[in-house]
Amino acid sequence: MKKKKLLFGGLALAASLLLVTPAFADDAAISESSIIIGPGNGPTKPIDPEPQPEPPGTGNTGELTIDYVTPLKFEGKISEKDEVYITTAHNPNVQVTDRRGTGEGWSLQVSATPFVDENTNKTLKGAQLTLPQGSARTLPENISPAPKDLRKVVLSEETNILMQAQKDEGMGTWIDKFNPIEVTLSVPTGNYVGDYVSTLNWSLIAAPQ
């Protein structure tokens, strides 16, 4: 019995030695994986629009696009003093997308025509539309550094820079998000009642200014 036990133990040891013997490959090779990424062309849907936005977006296509701008509406009444009206928009912002993939930067600029009542052709004299300094927002998965140059603008017929990305900033989709209570229209007393409209002209330049 003792001999059998020793024999079984020897078999177990031999089996364990066979299990830990390293294996050597007879040959080896290496390979690589590659991808060519080119610029995109859109369009890009708004990522943070107004509820049921109208229009839903610009639908612009290309490598560098303005995707969405919140229409800014105001309501008020004639007053015996100057008034400052706050926009009725809930989530005012403007969205741009840089699909070039070059990190060249860009500049978002805006101007505005005077407020005019199309029925009477009267101008809302002295009116000033103000866009506050906003905050740059993007999608969680975007790894690009944010644009840092965001500005407050009192709109006029002259073009003003609202937001711009320096070199290696602002790639992908970005919005300039405004605090709605800071989007204001100041109107001096003495103006006529009416339904006044101003056209905001937006431009996206392919390099910081």
Give pLDDT, residue 54. 74
Give pLDDT, residue 49. 83
Structure tokens at 124: 């809302």
Give pLDDT, residue 20. 52
Checking if the pLDDT of 47 tops 80, the result is yes
Is residue 181 within 8 Å of 130, Cβ to Cβ?
no
Q: How many helices (H) and strands (E) does the chain have?
A: 1, 14
Find, among 96, 83, 47, the residue nearest to 193 by Cα. 83
Structure tokens at 94: 């403007």
- Region of poorest pLDDT, from 10-19, 43-52, 137-146: 10-19
Mean of per-residue pLDDT scores for the chain: 87
C-alpha to C-alpha distance for 186 and 38, rounded to whole angstroms: 46
Block residue for tokens 């550094």: 145
pTM: 0.82
**pLDDT 10s digits, 146-190:** 999 999 999 999 999 999 999 999 999 999 999 999 999 999 999
Give the three-state DSSP class for 23: coil
| Percent of the chain whose predicted confidence (pLDDT) is above 70 | 88
